[in-house]
Amino acid sequence: MQIPGYRLQSKIGRGGMANVYLAVQESFDRPVAIKVMNPALAADPTFSQRFIREAKMMAQLSHPHIVPVFDIGSHGDLHYMSMEHIVGGTLKQRLRDGLEDDDIQRITAEIAAALDYTGEQDIIHRDIKPDNIMFRGDGSAVLMDFGIARPMQGDEAMTQLGTIVGTPKYMSPEQHRGKGVDSRADLYSLGVVLFEMLTGRAPYTGEDAMSIGIKHISEPIPLLPGDKKRWQPLVRKLMAKDPEQRFQRGSEVVVALKSLSAVAAPSAAGTTPTPAPAAAKFVDGNSAEVKLESRMRCKEIKEKAGLLSSVYVFDIYVMADDFNQFQGHFEKISQELFAWGKERGKKCGKVKFKATVHPWIAGRVKEYLRNIRKADTHEFLTRIPIEVNLVGADGKPIEQYRIEPDSA
């Protein structure tokens, strides 16, 4: 393969649309990465237009944390663009060894700054993920691969409303729904990347894109490990389900990161850390002012069913601040119900279930009740009513309903 003005040396990357080669740009005698579209795709105008659009879009961007494009062109049936050769590998590679908090904070701030800039240019990347974040020799992070980026306005977009584009593990809820997106979708994806840098795993996984998408849309954000707890408000605000509750632009993320540290630098004596100032706090769109402690109580109540007979009611009360806390009570509730059903048999009258929770996990609580009724070990629950009372952290009712026994 020959491209005038370049000496191709070796292949350094490949993708579905293009291969990337290390080359020397002869006019400047400098190493570059040259991205060459797969010739087999060039015959399809859709792919050619997409490649050229990406090249032109990237060539117009000028930011220290976005890979610069030096040249675009075509030779025969080859479309190509040359860009800075980034030598430090990808974030995906660095995740294998784990990252220090200082590095995580710096990487997040640098990519947030890049997204603030692309947002100002009305460009959405739509595929923020560890594979598309690379590092220069000095360690600075660089955003790569605008192959599925598109302008937020105008007729240049090559995907239409209703088309799902991106990598499922990192896509925002609105992307999974196939809805219109703006630059806040990229900030959500940055939140997912941040969660992965902090924990070594993605917040949501599944067997296929649909199952992952459902979790992004409906599941609460998982809790970080105890030693990463100070990052939770930042992750929650980045990954708020509602774009209106997220950071609205990357510069807000940068400001929040600067004030994140739980402690300032050690004192001159080097012994006593100083708490961070109160001004470091910011509003978390997924959290509530009222915090709920985790608790669970089960008890049996004997009720008269007639002059000479009695039935029994199993009364459950749960309080949880998030779904992980509620999930922690699953096994105990399941065991208690199983033992009760085995002991009382036909004298099981009904179950009363009350939970004080935040509204955004109410749906998951209801799902738990539906699932436990389906379990073979708890088949007796299908023969008795379950009265459900869900109450918010502020004491206001969320929902009250009754699950009737299945018909014989």
Give me the active site residues, please: 127
Using a 10 angstrom Cβ sphere, with 0-12 exposed, 13-18 middle and 19 or more buried, the burial of residue 369 is middle
Could you give the 3-state DSSP secondary structure of residue 324?
helix
Q: Where are the beta strands (DSSP E) in 38-102?
A: 69-75, 78-84
Measure the CA–CA gap between 67 and 88, rounded to whole angstroms. Answer: 13
* Dihedral (CA of 234, 236, 239, 243) sign: negative
Give the CA distances from residue 40 to residues 36, 47, 72, 397, in Å, rounded to whole numbers and listed in that order. Answer: 11, 10, 19, 60
**Residue 317 near residue 296 (C-beta atoms within 8 A):** yes
328 secondary structure, DSSP code:
T
Beta bridge partners of 33: 22, 83
Measure the CA–CA gap between 358 and 294, rounded to whole angstroms. Answer: 12
Measure the CA–CA gap between 369 and 350, rounded to whole angstroms. Answer: 14
